[in-house]
């Protein structure tokens, strides 16, 4: 077993007994702004600031841990929010050893918006998964804060998280060229969304193959592929609105039949639904996609 995956399993089990969880029996009162990467458009970023309380009242914290240069990324992302009118913005590079610090938790508790930068999503889960800071973020979302992220910061939104790695194909020059069971690596994400799987840079980087594989391995969870310069706003009522410049692809196998791998691991199945959702359109996370609304 992958040593990091084993570490996460042990850590998550310990966290369940040691740390308080947000109340999972009620729907979150907050919003999610999930960006597929690339350039962030004015309408997406303005929506995040508005949902955080507006320029004068928003208290935004940027978490840049996914980046290989978190200090630079944190400063740049905070400056972007300030350029859009947000008066109170700071960035915090949280390491695992500091994720239970009372001063940090107090800062997070006052935030009305939290934004995850791009980079490598596994860096975020290594720093936060199962910690008091993680549980505080879930609590903020339950209470009404807006949680946002781009690229890696989008991937961490779902409980089943794509790492971007393959387990069978090791040819980095030709990635995700098959639809085989057990090839796409997933680990536990931060779980703001528990009923779908998020993928990012979707159309731009031709990621249909890998999301089909993950959806067929988790047919109860629709896959949402978000293109660059595109976002979904997830609302408390379970609707998701598309914003930006590109397309969102929804793959739904909840009513699929005959899903199985052949002797080589290649998937087979029928009745898998795909929906393309353009900016200005909405869909529901809790309904099969032929029942989506415009």
Is residue 166 flagged as an active site residue? yes
With b for 16 or more beta-carbon neighbours within 10 A and e for fewer, the 166-197 pattern comes to beeeeeeeebbebbbbebbbbbbbbbbbeebb
CA nearest neighbour of 113 among 80, 88, 85: 88
> Is residue 71 classed as helix, strand or coil in its secondary structure?
helix
Determine which one of 31, 134, 135, 201 is catalytic.
201
* Candidate list 67, 151, 158, 229, residue with the active-site label: 151
User: Which one from 31, 117, 158, 166 is the annotated catalytic residue?
Assistant: 166
Tell me if residue 174 is catalytic: no
Long-range contacts of 134-137 (CB under 8 A, 24+ apart): 134/15, 134/99, 134/190, 135/15, 135/19, 135/20, 135/21, 135/22, 136/105, 136/108, 136/109, 137/108, 137/190, 137/192
Report, as residue numbers or ranges, the catalytic residues.
151, 166, 201
């Amino acid at each position: 077993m992958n040593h990091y995956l084993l570490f996460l399993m042990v850590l998550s089990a310990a966290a369940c007994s040691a740390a308080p969880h947000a109340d999972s029996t009620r729907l979150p009162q907050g919003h999610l702004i999930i960006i597929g990467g690339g350039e962030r458009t004015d309408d997406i970023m303005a929506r995040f600031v508005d949902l955080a309380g507006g320029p004068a009242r928003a208290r935004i914290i940027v978490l840049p841990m996914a980046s290989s240069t978190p200090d630079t990324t944190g400063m740049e992302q905070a400056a972007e929010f300030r350029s859009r009118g947000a008066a109170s913005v700071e960035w915090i590079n949280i390491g695992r050893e500091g994720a239970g610090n009372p001063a940090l938790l107090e800062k997070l508790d006052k935030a009305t918006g939290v934004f995850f930068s791009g980079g490598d999503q596994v860096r975020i889960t290594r720093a936060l998964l199962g910690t008091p800071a993680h549980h505080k973020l879930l609590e903020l979302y339950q209470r009404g804060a807006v949680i946002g992220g781009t690229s890696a910061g989008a991937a961490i939104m779902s409980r089943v998280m794509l790492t971007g790695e393959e387990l069978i194909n090791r040819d980095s020059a030709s990635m995700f060229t098959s639809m085989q069971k057990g090839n796409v690596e997933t680990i536990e994400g931060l779980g703001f969304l528990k009923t779908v799987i998020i993928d990012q840079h979707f159309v731009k980087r031709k990621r249909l193959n890998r999301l089909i594989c993950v959806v067929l391995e988790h047919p109860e969870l629709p896959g949402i592929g978000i293109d660059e310069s595109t976002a979904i706003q997830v609302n408390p009522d379970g609707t998701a609105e598309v914003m930006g410049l590109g397309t969102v692809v929804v793959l739904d196998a909840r009513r699929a039949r005959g899903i199985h791998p052949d002797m080589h691991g290649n998937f087979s199945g029928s009745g898998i639904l795909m929906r393309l959702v353009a900016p200005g359109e909405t869909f529901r996370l809790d309904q099969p996609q032929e029942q989506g609304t415009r």
